[in-house]
Structure 1
């Protein structure tokens, strides 16, 4: 029989419940923190099978054995934690902040800009990626750019600027990620986990005047795809083809998200705010 996840540590509020945020939430929940995640009412998630934010539409969602549940009231969080589940609140403005009083706040929205996070919001604040300055609007910035410095904790200054170029996977960069060519309604023609070839139609964008096909730019497994009938703006990420072709990667947390989770955990432990655990002789 599977043991229930025990979450009885300090409260950590994670802003965002997308792919990278879910990696952070998963690591912290597995290590005993009482994680609560906040999202917008209609989150855009290409890799939604591995996002706790999918609980916003589904009510409940599981990622690698960790359950998340959408809650309508922050007062339900304690019951969720006792059940070994991560609460997900639709609260992009953090109206729950003073009520939950988190020890740690992690901005993992990955918006490439700060959407309102302040150092005063918790004893220790983290910002993932560009858009934050350590020592100014957060205590610690976590580097999110793939490569040598991925997961590095930055205590003064900012992360590497957004290049607009996806990191390489199996030697392929820009061609593995698909963006909407215009605003409209995205309709999927393929499913996550399917093998696709360069030139295959993965879906279409309908702007009410005409439909425009979305074609795969490389061979591989369709690792991420927005759900059908999703409204999108122009140049929004809508798909992700993994050239390594391993279907199991579609249903598990990436090495990047897991590394970011580990980096935040390190940052919490080394900060001294958990002194009974960290500073024993």
Structure 2
């Protein structure tokens, strides 16, 4: 049973509902904001157990005690906020902006480029990671790259450029992320939470059933669900060398840091009004 308190704070629209976006949505909901998250019809989510966007396919989903629920119209949001839940709306073009008029818009798509967010879309706009310039297309930019500046809030300028290199975890970077060798439909052969070894089959791509294998030993922290079409060199899996199964089912330290930075950004903005 969901016993979360009502969400009564300002409306925050979050673009995207993947892993990092979900860390942001979770933090905002915990702080009492009325959160609405938008997604595409078929989102690609490797760490789907901790992504509110899983509600797109499942109808509803829970991440660390907060429930997300797919809605078909913005008029359904208020009922969910009364229950302390996060509505998920299929609206990549942000048609909801006209009627909703959120006080804050957070672009958490993590596309490494701006897919259309503009400063005038809300009184406060926040872009996560590279692709945004604070003071030009958004009001604030938050650093998403692992390291000393993770979660840093920029009022001018940009975040660190996309290096194309995954962040270091326990001494491993490129090795821990699994990519599609070519375009095709992915079929999973293992389950998230399983221990895997280097060379183990994780899934296949396309009618050719091209094998997708692990590059190191660890726990399978993320894996696309079967039946999803991917292009070449798209992230389909995530092997955590730390080997802790519990990490698979909880928000990452990176997502928590970014979520906290978004909440801080909004509180500072409200304090200055």
Is TM-score (shorter-chain normalized) higher than 0.5?
yes
Q: Is the 8 A contact 1:113 1:131 kept in 2?
A: yes
Distance 2:141 2:21 in 1: 14
> Is the Cα–Cα contact under 8 Å of residues 169 and 243 in structure 1 kept in the other structure?
yes
> Hey, what does 2:162 align to over in structure 1?
162
Report what 1:42 is aligned to: 42
Are residues 1:245 and 2:225 paired? no
Say whether the 8 Å CA contact 2:18–2:48 is kept in structure 1: yes
CA displacement, residues 227-267 of structure 1 (integer Å, 9 cap, x when unaligned):
01211111110000000000000000000000000001111
1:264 aligns with one of 253, 262, 267: 262
Alignment partners' CA distance in 2, 1:78 and 1:168: 41
Question: What is the CA-CA distance between 1:98 and the residue it aligns to?
Answer: 1.4
**Is the partner of 1:12 in helix, strand or coil?**
strand
Count of aligned residue pairs for this structure pair: 273
Unaligned runs of 5+ in 1: 276-281
**What residue number does 1:126 align with?**
126
1:254 counterpart = 2:252 = yes
TM-superposition CA deviations, 1:157-191 (whole Å, max 9, x none): 11000000000100000000001010001111100
Gaps spanning 5+ residues in structure 2: where? Answer: none
Tell me the residue number matched to 2:219.
221
**Structure 2 CA distance for partners of 1:225 and 1:68, relative to 1, 3 Å:** same
- After TM superposition, the score normalised by the length of structure 1 is 0.95
Describe the SS at the equivalent of 2:158: coil
User: How many angstroms does 1:272 deviate by?
Assistant: 3.1
Q: Deviations over 1:48-99 (max 9, x none)?
A: 0000000000000000000000000100000010011100000000000111
Distance 1:111 1:35 in 2: 21
In the alignment, is residue 4 of structure 1 matched against residue 4 of structure 2?
yes
Instruction: Please show how residues 66-215 of structure 1 align to structure 2 within 5 Å.
Output: 66-206=66-206, 208=207, 210-215=208-213
Structure-2 residue corresponding to 1:235: 233
Describe the superposition over 1:194-247 as per-residue Cα deviations: whole angstroms up to 9, x where unpaired. Answer: 0000010001111x3x22111100000000000012111111100000000000
In structure 1, the residue corresponding to 2:45 is in which secondary structure?
coil
Pairwise CA RMSD of aligned residues? 1.1
Q: Please tell me whether the aligned partners of residues 5 and 85 of structure 1 are also in contact (alpha carbons under 8 angstroms).
A: no
Q: Normalised by the size of structure 2, how large is the TM-score?
A: 0.98
Change beyond 3 A, Cα 1:2–1:180: closer
Contact 2:4 2:66 in 1 (8 A): no
